[in-house]
Amino acid sequence: MDAVVYYLTLPFVYLVSLLPFRLLYLLSDFLFLILYRVLGYRRKVVLSNLRGSFPNKPDAEIDRLCRDFYSFFCDLLLETLKTLTMSRSEMERRCKLTSDARQLFDNYAAGNKSVIIVLGHLGNWEWGGAAFSLQCQQQLYVIYHPLSNKYFDGLIYRMRTRFGTGLIPMKEAFREMVKRRSELTATAFIADQTPFPENAFWVRFLNRDTPVFKGTELISKKMARPVVYVFVKRVKRGFYELGAETLSERPDLTPEGEITALHTAKLEQHIHTVPETWLWSHKRWKYKKPSPTVG
């Protein structure tokens, strides 16, 4: 059944990908009407997340943020499909590193230093990875969760690796990084996903206790590599810039939880700047913080 759905969907996916950007965004506007106005896709989740994150904002502003998020979300979906057929020059034109970010990564490359990148689902992170691979000297590897549908997982794999990015399944992250320790690399962790409560660091994020994956911090300590926070900011429709700043040169010397707190705080700061471009449809707060054990 997975194969049938995939092969029925594939022609539509490539047709959308081949559309010129002007038509792509007209299609996005139509998709917005369907998802937001007609279907109300995950609308309760989005509104609940927004209200919990911004309790002091009036209902009218929450509704506006909700609407703006869906508009951006539709752009993001179609821009992601566009990655399948975009040219190298078009990708470099539409998603660029800031001059400071380029200098930061060039300096690490000059010192033959591999780095660990941490980012969130903010802006167009898919284009951000492609832009990094095209514009930086480091070989980029992205830690990811393979999809259960092997056919669509293969499609996503082809899309994400078109411009030279490598993918590493999360369960193999540390082993693969050790195997590649002689390469000049940047290994990217998307850190705003939701781990099981018992396997998480807990931090205050967007007004709530929030579980965060330990992997970014634990692996950065074991590998003793600089940790760089990256954010992808939308400049205007269809155009983005990638910024970066170092959080820690020596994570192996930091107290437990410090790296996690730092990158979570940076993400929150940027969400407050451009809230409509974060992934509000994700069930980020479905778990409650466990009570401390007594005894």
Question: What pLDDT, in 10s, does the model give residues 124-166?
Answer: 999 999 999 999 999 999 999 998 889 999 999 999 999 999 9
As a whole number, the mean pLDDT across the chain is: 95
Q: How far apart are CA 7 and CA 102, in angstroms?
A: 40
Give per-residue pLDDT as tens, 30-39: 999 999 999 9
Kindly report, residue by residue over 262-285, the tens digit of the pLDDT: 999 999 999 999 999 999 999 999
- What's the average model confidence in pLDDT over 204-208? 96
Strands (E), 75-226: 95-97, 115-119, 139-144, 166-169, 185-190, 200-205, 208-213
pLDDT tens-digit map of 64-103: 999 999 999 999 999 999 999 999 999 999 999 999 999 9
Query: Is residue 264 within 8 Å of residue 272, measured between CB atoms?
Result: no
Q: How far is CA 221 from CA 46, 61, 170, 189, 248, in A?
A: 35, 41, 17, 14, 10
Which residues lie closer than 8 Å to 92 by C-beta, 6 or more apart? 131, 134, 135
Tokens for 161, please give them.
């690796």
- 59 DSSP assignment: H
Q: Strands, E, within the chain: which ranges?
A: 95-97, 115-119, 139-144, 166-169, 185-190, 200-205, 208-213, 227-236, 239-248
Separation CA 234–CA 295 (nearest Å): 50
Asked if the model's pLDDT at residue 293 lies above 80, the reply is no
Question: Which of the four pLDDT bands, split at 50, 70 and 90, describes residue 199?
Answer: confident
pLDDT of residue 168: 96
Note whether 76 and 69 are within 8 A (CB): no
Residue-wise pLDDT tens digits, 7-23: 889 999 999 999 999 99
What pLDDT was estimated at residue 224?
Answer: 96
| First and final C-alpha spacing in the chain | 52
Domain range summary for the chain, segments of one domain joined by +:
1-82, 92-277
| pLDDT tens figures, 217-238 | 999 999 999 999 999 999 999 9
HSE (side-chain half, CA atoms, 13 Å) at 70: 24
Taking residues 24-53, what's their average pLDDT?
Answer: 97
Higher-confidence residue of 295 and 194: namely 194
